[in-house]
């Protein structure tokens, strides 16, 4: 009993946002390098392990309560599906990379794969079967999990926690770190704009019609980082690990409404003026936020330029000169803006975890906080 | 399998297609199975199980009823019937050929009749057509009009002929039928008898046939087919004008409870298991005043009416055992209530809390004993003094005035009293200090300091009256006076249970709550000698309102001697061990600490310290006393100088009955009590500060409600009363509208309750508790126990309203007289009574309300009653009867007492013309026992003329004799309507016993 509780406490500890997101991010990069491991057997083992983990965890009452909620069951299913399809596509990509390294064409290029099939009866038959199976799944699902009808809406009683639909939980999680204007308007717009801009900035002609990783390393890494770490991961966090008052609760932790966590966050201007220089905050808003303004200006004005003209910065291979040369100034500008915006999120998160940083620029008078 | 390849068909795809065929087959079967599951899941409903089971019960009950009906038929008559049937059969057999011939004749005539009748009717139709044709032709002036008229006349003649023919056929038919009936006479008679004898049984058998499940009902209830006319269906009641509150709107109530609760409105299921049990007291609650079609179920029981499942209907368990047992409904080991409905069902035992929604303003809701007791206790304990409750504002504070307390009692007594009131005597004052379950020594030390400070403050601010010591009194006489003059109707000494416990018919004693009794209206008087100053007591007893204007204690019109005697007696009631309790001295250091806590909350620390050092000892103590009174809210129950306008400290309870469970602070007591509102309130009422247990709180954050030391029964009633404070508004259209009379009755009931009239008088079912005290005196005096009840009645105040006969004081007395009497009750109607009706010093408003109340309750004219004209002859006859019946043997006349045992004496007849209503006199003389059960007045004028004692007077006519006596009585005494001719005058007033002290 004690050992089980100890394990549960360990899991609860490791799933704290600062640790969890960090480990998942690091794990992601390591996994992309460990091509040897992307075999069906490893995938099967991992899949079964994940299923076992969920299954065994269901014995814990708190875990079961969250996972069995009719709203959350499809999220669990989707997480398995996401894992499966990411594995499937990268497995095929690595397989193709190996073949192409040997000089063979990718699997999609082999004559067998290039054949056509008839719409009738083959495709249509498959579609029919897909419909029948889909129907069965839906009916069984609706019999097992009834759609919840909750209490009459009462403006005097807000549900706690008050969660957005699952597809917005990533944004709701971002609200922890960013001002609502940024997290709710600017970033979602940038996401959509960014997705639309992909054809404009991704001029790599390779990988058309066949899976490959080596030929599209950067593109795939950036996209998967944004999708898996900054989107799916946040959705999972928001669904399973956020409880009443948007407090963090480990998967085996009881959702205690009374749990209190001190959110003593400090603005950059306060750090510099009050704690650093031991003065009082300047009355003039621009002067007060000058450090933050300079930092942000550096980030969005100086850094892109710096990256454009260097291959390496301070010895690290993070220069983007290659892309500047490839894309040209306009495409590069769009690309680097989107990239820097995307990276800003994990940067801010790390700053929050390490320094309890609230805002880099805090101008509540004009509702502008970064 | 050999598949023909289409030209250009890839064999690999063919193979694939064959594999997919297998998948298709399997998934199709799967789809079929899943669809069947879906249909079944929709079809298989919880409530159908219950309905099927109930059908079984109904069949069982009907079969039993059939057996009973059969049993009722007496064996002899059954034998007779059998004989008759046998004879009938024989007869038929012997006359078989005749009967056959007669029946044949009838058949032939039937055929003929059919033909003739049809011709007759067809001809009538043709006549109508012909008439129309003719009239049309005539209108248009066509030449054929004449022909048409001729045709019409012909048809009319034909019709008349047919009519004659028809009548003839009918006559013959009747004859033929009669002949057959004659032949089969006996058999027909036997059949008729049988039908009558077994009418009930036949009806029940038909009912059984209709309800018994068979093939037809099986088919009716099959899936899909049950869309047409199922026998298992959801039942619902939709009361008009009642709505469920869903925050943004009110949806009309739809109560589907009767889908499972099928026996609720049928007699015969009283011992059936739930949910089939018949509703208790079905006639009151499902018919009568609360017809179930108008009110539904959830109007009184709450819950979610539209649900058709057990948990979905928001059923609530009433005990922890039931909670466990109901786990089967939610598939878990304990029952989970339905979280998504804000008005879960009121748990058993608190249903009466919902009565108040419609019976607003009622002092007592008929039949709602628990609720009435709860409301009574809330008034008694004065909860509204600290907790604002809408409708209860502006009421008098429930505890005595403390602004002049220094003259009444001593500081030493006050300290010990406020530390533990119930240590002195039974009281309703709660305990403020040392009541927590987890009270620490530190806390107790602080409590001592606070109590000392409070005492100092109260005494300091009190008026300093000095009372001269009373004259010496006779203790024994005082005791006797105290016990007989009427004090015991509102006061007790110690744990006196007379008038509180009720003797059940089987001889056992039912203990009732003393807090909810009429005799605890005033404080318990045990230990008075230790508590009060003798001079104060002497002054109080003679004029209570002189000390405290708002006291409810009336003026007993005591003479100085009586007052002195009573004072001596009460001062002899001591409670020395109470005063022997230690009184720890005020610890100055701790006091300073607490004072500093208060100052630091108001001022910056340095300023607070300065203030502290600036105050001297006395100032600090008084300061602490004031703050403590402000913290604990003593002024909610008592008038205290300096707190006249302070708002009370308690939470508002106006809508406490609607409070959401998640808003309640259960503290760390969640595992100990069910997670429901009634359980929370119950524990709060019993242990008000328990929800602090386990929490780390600063002194100023601790819960402050004092402990009332209520019993479980009292707490239960109080919970019902608190639950009745809901925010639900019932539309006026759904409520019964009180008539004007009913409103006056309600207002009067409120005054009756406030002044505790029922301590002495029985009004309705309750009251008259002083009679038990009188009875105990008789018992002590050695009177034989069989005659105690009637003697006690003779020595007790009168019954003021007989609920069974619906007749009381209103129909008895004249309103102007009642008004004057209530204003000054010293003019005794029953001079022999030791008990004395006190002077209440009513305001005119109250007098009007009370007199109107009595009149409205009886439905008599107000304020004047008709006075009959008096016939001198009748007056004389009446006088004659009056003498013959020797009324003055028992009745006091103009103050002259008859020579009788006091318990046999009867009211003063000289008052009759100004006091009694003439109408009532007639009713009284006709049947006294109907109006005042147990009265010693004999029924002198029986209704049956043979039993009349004086048949020669007025022909023995009861009504006439009564009128004669009445006419005579209406001439007696002061205010008589006319003089009587030739009769000796009755001496007027000016004799003893109009009441001492007048």
pLDDT digits (tens, 9 = 90+) for B925-948: 999 999 998 888 988 888 787 888
Chain A residues whose beta carbon lies within 8 Å of the beta carbon of residue B17: 121-122, 125
| Cα within 13 Å of Cα(B355), Cβ side | 24
Place of tokens 């102007």: B816
Is B11 a member of any domain? no
Option in B23, B38, B341 nearest A151 (CB): B341
Of B34, B246, B660, the CB nearest to A140: B34
B247/A140 touch (CB, cutoff 8 Å), yes or no: no
Backbone angles phi, psi at B238, to 5 degrees: -120, 90
pLDDT-derived band at B978, boundaries 50, 70, 90: very low
pLDDT one-digit tens code per residue, A289-329: 999 999 999 999 999 988 988 888 887 888 888 888 888 89
Judged against a pLDDT cut of 50, whether residue B981 lies above it is answered with no
Give the span between the Cα atoms of B302 and B727, in whole angstroms.
13
In a domain, A91, yes or no: yes
Tokens of B384: 């509204």
Higher per-residue pLDDT: B978 or A304: A304
Q: Domain count of chain B? A: 7
DSSP string, A145-199: SPPP--SPP-TT---SS----GGGHHHHHHHHHS-HIIIIIIHHHHHHHHHHHHH
A160: in domain = no
Confidence at residue A310, expressed as pLDDT on a 0 to 100 scale = 83
Provide the pLDDT confidence category of residue B513 given band limits of 50, 70 and 90: confident
Cβ of B24 within 8 Å of Cβ of A129? The answer is yes
Q: How far apart are CA B78 and CA B71, in angstroms?
A: 11
Q: Is the distance from CB of B721 to CB of B371 less than 8 angstroms?
A: yes
Contacts of B38 in chain A (CB under 8 A): 139, 142-143
Whether residues A217 and A364 fall in one domain? no
* A344 within some domain: yes
Residues of chain B in contact with residue A155, where contact means CB-CB under 8 angstroms, are 247
B628/B775 same-domain check: no
Q: Is A10 on the interface with B (CB under 8 A)?
A: no
B153 lies in the same domain as B121: yes
Cβ atoms of B831 and B896 within 8 Å: the answer is no
Of B23, B246, B660, the CB nearest to A157: B660
> Is B34 inside a domain boundary?
no
- Token pair 């959401």 is found at B660
Q: With respect to residue A199, please indicate whether it lies within any of the assigned structural domains.
A: no
Residue B53, in any domain of the structure: no
Range of the domain at A338: 268-369
pLDDT at res. B860: 93
Which of B835, B858, B881 represents a domain boundary (last residue)?
B858
Question: What are the pLDDT digits (tens) for B335-370?
Answer: 888 888 989 999 888 999 999 999 988 888 988 999
Helical pair B815-823 and B844-858, crossing angle rounded to 10 deg:
140
Angstroms from B9 CA to nearest CA on chain A: 9
Do B707 and B816 belong together in one domain?
A: no
B271 vs B263: CA distance, rounded Å: 11
Q: Assess whether A240 and A281 both reside in one domain.
A: no
Mark yes or no for CB contact B13/A125 under 8 Å. no
Residue B955: which CATH number? Answer: 1.10.760.10
The reply to whether residue A135 touches residue B20, judged by beta carbons under 8 angstroms, is no
**A135 and chain B: CB distance < 8 Å anywhere?**
yes
Q: Cβ separation of B23 and A157 shorter than 8 Å?
A: no
CB B17 to CB A121 under 8 A? yes
Question: Best residue in A69, A138, A143, A256 to probe B by mutation, most B CBs within 10 Å?
Answer: A143
Dist CA B234 CA B59 (whole Å)? 20
Q: Which two tokens stand for residue B676?
A: 């429901």
Minimum Cα–Cα distance from A119: chain B residue: B13
Q: What is the phi/psi pair of residue B304, to 5°? A: -105, 100
- Are residues B920 and B826 part of one domain? no
In a domain, A124, yes or no: no
Question: Residue A174 falls within a domain, yes or no?
Answer: no
Which of B374-378, B667-671, B766-770 shows the lowest mean pLDDT across its residues? B667-671
The answer to whether residue A121 neighbours chain B at the CB level (below 8 Å) is yes
Q: Is the pLDDT of residue A125 over 60?
A: yes
Per-residue pLDDT tens digits for B283-321: 888 888 889 999 999 999 999 999 999 999 999 888 878
The distance of A132 to chain B (nearest Cα, Å) reads 7
| Pair A34, A95 in one domain | yes
Total domain count for chain A? 2
Residues B761 and B847 reside in one and the same domain:
yes
**Quick one: average pLDDT of A117-145?**
91
Adjacency order of strands within the sheet including B762-763? B766-767, B762-763, B801-802, B807-808
Q: Is the pLDDT of residue B161 over 80?
A: yes
A147 touches chain B (CB under 8 A): no
- Cβ of A139 under 8 Å from any chain B Cβ? yes
Q: In Å, how far is A7's CA from the nearest CA of chain B?
A: 27
B516 with B555, same domain: the answer is yes
CA B939, CA B941: separation in Å to the nearest integer?
Answer: 6
Q: Let me know whether A98 and A214 are in one domain.
A: yes
Contact B246 A152 (CB under 8 A): yes
- Is there a single domain that holds both residue A365 and residue A273? yes
Cα B268 from chain centroid (whole Å)? 25
Q: Write out chain B residues lying below 8 Å of A112, CB-based.
A: none
Please tell me whether residues B815 and B750 are part of one structural domain. yes
Tell me the CATH number at B813.
Answer: 1.10.760
HSE of A45, CA atoms in CB hemisphere, 13 A: 5
Instruction: Give the DSSP per-residue string, B379-412.
Output: HHHTGGGTS--TT-TTPPPSSPP-TTGGGTB-HH
Residue from the list A125, A139, A151 with its beta carbon closest to the beta carbon of B38:
A139
Residue B976 pLDDT more than 60?
A: no
By the 10 Å C-beta count (0-12 exposed, 13-18 middle, 19+ buried), B684 is classed as: buried
Flag if A140 and B23 touch (Cβ within 8 Å): no
Q: What is the dihedral of CA A227, A232, A233, A238, to 10 degrees?
A: 140
pLDDT at B980: 41
Same domain for A275 and A312 = yes
Question: Looking at the domain assignment, is residue B324 inside a domain?
Answer: no
> Do A100 and A214 sit in the same domain of this protein?
yes
CB contact under 8 Å between A157 and B24, yes or no, is no
Q: A11 and A83 share a domain?
A: yes
- Asked if residue A276 has a cis previous peptide bond (ω within 30° of 0), the answer is no
Which residues in B lie closer than 8 A to residue A157 (C-beta atoms)? Answer: 660, 662
Say if residues B460 and B479 touch (Cβ distance below 8 Å).
no
> Which residues, 6 or more positions from A221, have their beta carbon under 8 angstroms from its beta carbon?
A29, A32
Cβ separation A154–B342 shorter than 8 A = yes
Predicted confidence band at B8 (pLDDT cuts at 50, 70, 90)? Answer: low
Decide if B65 is inside a domain: no
Q: Which of B18, B32, B340 to mutate to test the interface with A (most CBs of A within 10 A)?
A: B340
pTM for this prediction: 0.85
Least Cα distance to B343 among B677, B634, B597, B776 occurs for: B677
| Residue B282 included in any domain | yes
Query: Are residues B78 and B191 both part of a single domain?
Result: yes
pLDDT at res. B146: 86
Both A364 and A279 in one domain: the answer is yes
Asked whether residue B434 is assigned to any structural domain, the reply reads no
* SS3 (DSSP) at A362: strand
Q: Are B469 and B571 in contact (CB under 8 A)?
A: no
Q: What is the pLDDT at residue B998? A: 38
- Looking at the fold, whether B265 and B363 belong to one and the same domain comes out as no
A189 part of a folded domain:
no
Residue B60 lies in a domain: no
Cα separation, B642 vs B650, in Å, equals 19
Tell me: pLDDT of B993 over 50.
no
Asked whether residue A7 falls in the same domain as residue A101, the answer is yes
- Average pLDDT of the residues of chain B: 90
Pick the residue from chain A with its C-alpha nearest to B344: A151
Average pLDDT of every residue of chain A: 90
A139/B247 CB distance under 8 A:
no
Token pair listed for B690: 């328990």
Q: Considering only the beta carbons, identify the residue of A122, A132, A149 that sits closest to B31.
A: A132
Residue B975 binned pLDDT confidence (cut-offs 50, 70, 90)? low
Look at residue B982 in the predicted model and tell me its pLDDT: 43
Over residues B803-862, the pLDDT tens digits come to 999 999 999 999 999 999 999 998 888 888 889 999 999 999 999 999 999 999 999 999
Helices (H), A289-370: 290-297, 303-308, 321-355
Minimum CA–CA partner of B23 in chain A: A129
Shared domain for B457 and B596, answered yes or no, is: yes
Contacts with B, A 285-314, CB within 8 Å: none
Question: Of B815, B777, B781, B824, which Cα lies nearest the Cα of B796?
Answer: B777
CA distance B246 to chain A (A): 6
Same domain, B526 and B606: no
Q: Mean pLDDT, to the nearest integer, of B500-529?
A: 85
Evaluate if residue B564 carries a pLDDT over 60. yes
Inform me whether the pLDDT recorded for B984 exceeds 50: no
A85/A6 same-domain check = yes
Shared domain check, B625 and B548? no
Range of the domain at B479: 467-585
ipTM over 0.85: no
Asked if A34 reaches chain B (Cβ–Cβ under 8 Å), the answer is: no
Q: Which chain B residues have any C-beta within 8 angstroms of a chain A C-beta?
A: 13, 16-17, 20, 23-24, 27-28, 30-31, 34-35, 37-38, 41, 246-248, 339-342, 660, 662
Both A49 and A99 in one domain: the answer is yes
Please give the angle made by the CA atoms of B528, B533 and B537, to the nearest 5 degrees.
Answer: 70
């Amino acid at each position: 009993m004690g050992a089980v509780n100890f394990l549960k406490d360990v899991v609860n500890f490791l799933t704290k946002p600062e640790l969890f997101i960090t480990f998942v991010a690091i794990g992601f990069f390591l996994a992309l390098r460990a091509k040897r491991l992307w075999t069906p057997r490893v995938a099967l083992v991992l899949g079964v392990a994940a299923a076992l983990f969920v299954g065994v965890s269901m014995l814990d009452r708190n875990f079961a309560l969250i996972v069995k909620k009719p709203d959350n069951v499809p999220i669990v299913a989707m997480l398995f599906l996401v894992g499966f399809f990411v594995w499937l596509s990268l497995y095929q990509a690595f397989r193709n990379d190996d073949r192409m390294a040997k000089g063979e064409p990718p699997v999609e290029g082999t004559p067998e794969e290039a054949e056509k099939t008839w719409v009738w009866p083959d495709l249509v038959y498959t579609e029919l079967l897909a419909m029948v199976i889909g129907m069965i799944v839906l009916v069984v699902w609706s019999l097992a999990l009834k759609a919840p009808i909750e209490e009459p809406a009462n403006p005097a009683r807000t549900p706690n926690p008050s969660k957005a639909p699952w597809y917005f939980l990533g944004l709701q999680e971002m609200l922890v770190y960013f001002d609502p204007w940024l997290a709710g308007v600017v970033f979602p717009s940038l996401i959509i704009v960014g997705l639309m801009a992909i054809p404009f900035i991704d001029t790599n002609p390779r990988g058309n019609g066949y899976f490959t990783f080596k030929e599209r390393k950067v593109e795939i890494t950036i996209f998967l980082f944004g999708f898996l770490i900054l989107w799916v991961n946040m959705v999972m966090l928001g669904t399973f690990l956020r409880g009443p008052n948007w407090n963090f609760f480990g998967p085996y932790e009881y959702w205690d409404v009374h749990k209190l966590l001190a959110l003593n966050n400090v603005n950059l201007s306060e750090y510099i003026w009050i704690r650093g220089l031991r003065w009082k905050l300047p009355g003039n808003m621009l002067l007060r936020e000058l450090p933050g303004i300079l930092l942000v200006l550096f980030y969005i004005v100086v850094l892109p330029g710096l990256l454009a003209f260097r291959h390496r910065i301070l010895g690290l291979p993070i220069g983007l000169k290659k892309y500047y040369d490839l894309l040209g100034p306009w495409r590069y500008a769009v690309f680097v803006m989107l990239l820097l915006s995307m990276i800003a999120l994990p940067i801010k998160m790390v700053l929050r975890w390490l320094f309890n940083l609230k805002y880099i620029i805090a101008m509540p008078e004009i509702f502008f906080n970064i | 399998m050999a598949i023909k390849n289409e030209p250009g068909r890839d064999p690999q795809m063919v193979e694939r297609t064959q594999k997919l065929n297998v998948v298709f087959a399997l998934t199709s079967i799967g789809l079929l199975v899943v669809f069947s599951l879906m249909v079944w899941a929709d079809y298989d409903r919880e409530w159908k199980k219950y309905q099927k089971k109930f059908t079984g019960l109904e069949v069982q009950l009907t079969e039993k009823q059939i057996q009973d009906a059969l049993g009722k038929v007496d064996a002899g008559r059954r034998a007779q019937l059998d004989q008759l049937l046998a004879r009938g059969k024989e007869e038929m057999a012997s006359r078989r050929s005749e009967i056959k011939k007669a029946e044949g004749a009838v058949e032939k005539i039937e055929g003929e009749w059919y033909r003739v009748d049809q011709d007759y009717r067809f001809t009538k139709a043709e006549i109508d057509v012909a008439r129309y044709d003719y009239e049309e032709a005539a209108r248009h002036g066509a030449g054929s009009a004449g022909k048409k008229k001729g045709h019409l006349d012909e048809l009319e003649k034909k019709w008349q002929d047919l009519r004659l023919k028809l009548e003839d056929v009918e006559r013959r038919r009747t004859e033929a039928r009669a002949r057959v009936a004659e032949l089969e006479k006996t058999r027909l008679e036997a059949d008729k008898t049988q039908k009558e004898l077994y009418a009930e049984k036949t009806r029940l058998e038909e009912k059984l046939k209709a309800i018994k499940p068979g093939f037809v009902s099986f088919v009716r209830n099959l899936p899909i087919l049950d869309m047409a006319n199922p026998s298992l269906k959801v039942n619902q009641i939709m009361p008009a004008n009642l709505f469920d509150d869903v925050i943004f709107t009110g949806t009309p109530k739809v109560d589907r409870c009767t889908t499972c609760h099928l026996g609720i409105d049928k007699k015969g299921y009283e011992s059936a298991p739930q949910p089939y049990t018949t509703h208790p007291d079905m006639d009151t609650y499902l018919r009568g005043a609360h017809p179930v079609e108008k009110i539904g179920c959830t109007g009184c029981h709450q819950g979610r009416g539209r649900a058709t499942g057990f948990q979905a209907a928001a059923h609530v368990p009433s005990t922890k055992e039931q909670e466990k047992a109901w786990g089967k409904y939610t598939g878990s080991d304990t029952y989970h209530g339905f979280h998504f409905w804000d008005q879960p069902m009121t748990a058993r035992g608190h249903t009466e809390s919902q009565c108040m929604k419609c019976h607003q303003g009622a002092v007592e809701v008929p039949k709602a004993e628990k609720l009435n007791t709860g409301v009574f206790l809330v008034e008694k304990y004065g909860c509204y003094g600290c907790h604002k409750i809408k409708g209860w504002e502006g009421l008098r504070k429930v505890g005595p005035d403390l602004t002049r307390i220094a003259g009444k009692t001593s500081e030493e007594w006050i300290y010990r009293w406020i530390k533990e009131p119930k240590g002195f005597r039974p009281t309703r004052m709660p305990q403020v200090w040392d009541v927590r379950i987890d009270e620490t020594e530190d806390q107790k030390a602080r409590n001592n300091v606070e109590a000392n400070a409070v005492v100092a403050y109260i005494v300091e601010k009190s008026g300093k009256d000095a009372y001269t010591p009373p004259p010496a009194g006779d203790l024994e006489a005082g005791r006797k006076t105290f016990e007989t003059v009427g004090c015991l109707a509102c006061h007790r000494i110690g744990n006196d249970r007379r008038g509180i416990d009720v003797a059940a018919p089987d001889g056992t004693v039912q203990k009732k709550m003393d807090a909810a009794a009429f005799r605890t209206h005033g404080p318990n008087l045990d230990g008075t000698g230790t508590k009060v100053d003798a001079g104060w007591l002497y002054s109080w007893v003679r004029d209570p309102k002189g000390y405290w204007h708002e006291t409810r204690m009336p003026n007993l019109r005591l003479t100085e001697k009586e007052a002195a005697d009573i004072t001596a007696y009460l001062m002899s009631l001591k409670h020395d061990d109470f005063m022997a309790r230690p009184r720890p001295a005020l610890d100055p250091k701790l006091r300073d600490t607490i004072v500093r806590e208060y100052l630091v909350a108001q001022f910056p620390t340095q300023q607070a310290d300065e203030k502290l050092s600036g105050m001297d000892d006395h100032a600090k103590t008084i300061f602490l006393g004031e703050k403590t009174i402000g913290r604990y809210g003593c002024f909610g129950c008592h008038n205290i100088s300096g707190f006249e306008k302070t708002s009370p400290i308690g939470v508002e309870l106006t809508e406490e009955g609607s409070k959401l469970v998640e808003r309640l602070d259960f503290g760390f007591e969640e595992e100990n009590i069910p997670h429901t509102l009634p359980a929370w309130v119950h524990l709060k009422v019993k242990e008000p500060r328990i929800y602090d247990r386990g929490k780390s709180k600063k002194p100023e954050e601790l819960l402050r409600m004092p402990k009332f030391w209520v019993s479980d029964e009292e707490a239960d009633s109080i919970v019902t009363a608190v639950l009745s404070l809901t925010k639900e508004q019932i539309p006026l259209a759904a409520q019964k509208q009180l008539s004007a009379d009913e409103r006056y009755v309600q207002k009067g009931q409120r005054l009756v309750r406030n002044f505790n009239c029922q301590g002495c008088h029985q009004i309705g079912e309750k009251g008259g508790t002083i009679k038990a005290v009188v009875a105990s005196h008789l018992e002590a005096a050695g009177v034989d126990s069989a005659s105690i009840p009637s003697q006690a009645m003779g020595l007790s105040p009168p019954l003021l309203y007989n609920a069974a006969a619906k007749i009381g004081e209103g129909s008895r007395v004249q309103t102007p007289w009642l008004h004057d009497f209530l204003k000054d009750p010293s003019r005794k109607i029953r001079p022999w009574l030791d008990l004395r009706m006190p002077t209440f010093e009513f305001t005119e408003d109250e007098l009007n309300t009370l007199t109107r109340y009595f009149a409205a309750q009886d439905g008599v004219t107000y304020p004047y009653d008709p006075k009959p004209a008096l016939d001198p002859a009748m007056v004389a006859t009446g006088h004659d009867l009056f003498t013959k019946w020797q009324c003055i043997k028992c009745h006091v006349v103009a103050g002259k007492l008859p020579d009788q045992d006091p318990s046999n004496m009867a009211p003063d007849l000289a008052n009759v013309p100004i006091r009694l209503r003439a109408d009532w006199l007639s009713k009284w003389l006709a049947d006294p026992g109907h109006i005042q059960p147990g009265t010693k007045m004999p029924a002198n004028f029986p209704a049956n003329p043979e039993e009349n004692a004086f048949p020669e007077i007025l022909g023995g006519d009861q009504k006439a004799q009564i009128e004669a006596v009445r006419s005579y009585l209406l001439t007696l005494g002061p205010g008589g309507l006319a003089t009587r001719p030739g009769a000796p005058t009755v001496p007027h007033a000016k004799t003893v016993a109009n009441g001492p002290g007048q």
